[in-house]
Amino acid sequence: MELIFLQTCINGLMLGSIYVLIALGLTLIFSIMGIINFAHGEIFMLGGFATYFIGEYYGVNFFLSLIISMMIVATFGVLIERIIFRPLREDPLNLLVISLGLAIVLQNLALIFWGPEDRSIPVDFQGVIKIFGMMFSNERLAAFIISVTLVIGLYLFIGRTKAGKALQAVAQDYEAAALQGININQMNALAFGIGCALASAAGSAMGPVFLVSPFMGIMPVMKAFIVIMLGGLGSVIGSVVGGLILGIAESFGATYLGSEFQNMVGFIILMVILIVKPLGLFGYRE
């Protein structure tokens, strides 16, 4: 019995770590730019496909492909921000519609050009580790490690580097930051680029575990919304905690209640949190 319990916890942690990665990108973009990016799931998907194609056609090692994909997708993201989002910065509802349009376009273009079928990203380190009777696939472990690495990396970047501190300033009060001479446009581009890079990494990490398809972003982005609401919009710690909570809650829900409840658990938690503490666990009022 405890074995199932422990396995459920570990499953939840690993699942949660992926949610964290996607949510982090989303919350970063929100705190700097004020947008909820509906197309985030499709950015995630592009990351997965990029890694697939790089690996398939150039035979590059998985981790290297992941990094290259991050760069490609981040560049793409910055272009999108410049062309589509920047003109509408002031109006969140317009941004909502545009990001929705973008999501539709990206998803269905992927469908038309790459077909609907799933693809796997083969890795060199396939296999399963068994510790104390619990099993973890190496791919999941890799995803977990990637997530942890990137979270730590982001934390260090935001806390220690000049650009990171500038981002913090913009997140807190962008008018004051502008007055201090921080280039808001550059910051927005940076935030969006990092956000997309994180989503791309999440997509690449998920590839070996859950396969790559044009539709792979639909569910994860909904989960990411729940996570950032749970943790608090704009809070990095909130996303981490929220992601882990959601992962574990879903894991327990699905294991002990039934497969149908895997998704419902998340929504119920969300509604409760929003009613009790609307800003989320770590959210703050600006």
Which residues sit at the interface with another protein, rule CB under 8 A? Answer: 4, 7-8, 11, 15, 36, 84, 87-88, 91-94, 96-98, 100-105, 108-109, 111-112, 115-120, 126, 128, 130, 135, 137, 209-211, 213, 215, 218-219, 222, 225-226, 229, 233, 250-256, 258-260, 262-264, 267-268, 270-271, 274-275, 278-279
Q: Whole-number minimum distance, CB 92 to another protein, in Å?
A: 8
Q: Whole-number minimum distance, CB 32 to another protein, in Å?
A: 15
Q: Whole-number minimum distance, CB 97 to another protein, in Å?
A: 5
Q: Whole-number minimum distance, CB 150 to another protein, in Å?
A: 20
Nearer of residues 122 and 153 to another protein, judged by Cβ: 122
Nearer of residues 50 and 98 to another protein, judged by Cβ: 98
C-beta of residue 266 within 8 angstroms of C-beta of residue 230: no
Q: Whole-number minimum distance, CB 111 to another protein, in Å?
A: 6
Q: Whole-number minimum distance, CB 227 to another protein, in Å?
A: 11
Cα–Cα distance for residue pair 211/234, rounded to 1 Å: 30
DSSP-derived letter for residue 137 is E
C-beta of residue 196 within 8 angstroms of C-beta of residue 73: yes
Nearer of residues 84 and 163 to another protein, judged by Cβ: 84
C-beta of residue 84 within 8 angstroms of C-beta of residue 62: no
| Residue type (1 letter), 177 | A
Nearer of residues 91 and 173 to another protein, judged by Cβ: 91
Nearer of residues 138 and 168 to another protein, judged by Cβ: 138
Nearer of residues 19 and 166 to another protein, judged by Cβ: 19
DSSP-derived letter for residue 279 is T
Cα–Cα distance for residue pair 19/249, rounded to 1 Å: 12
Q: What is the DSSP string of 48-75?
A: HHHHHHHHHHH---HHHHHHHHHHHHHH
Q: Whole-number minimum distance, CB 136 to another protein, in Å?
A: 8
Nearer of residues 64 and 109 to another protein, judged by Cβ: 109
Cα–Cα distance for residue pair 126/148, rounded to 1 Å: 20
C-beta of residue 229 within 8 angstroms of C-beta of residue 243: no
C-beta of residue 20 within 8 angstroms of C-beta of residue 81: no
User: In 10 A of CB 108, how many CB atoms?
Assistant: 12
Cα–Cα distance for residue pair 278/281, rounded to 1 Å: 8
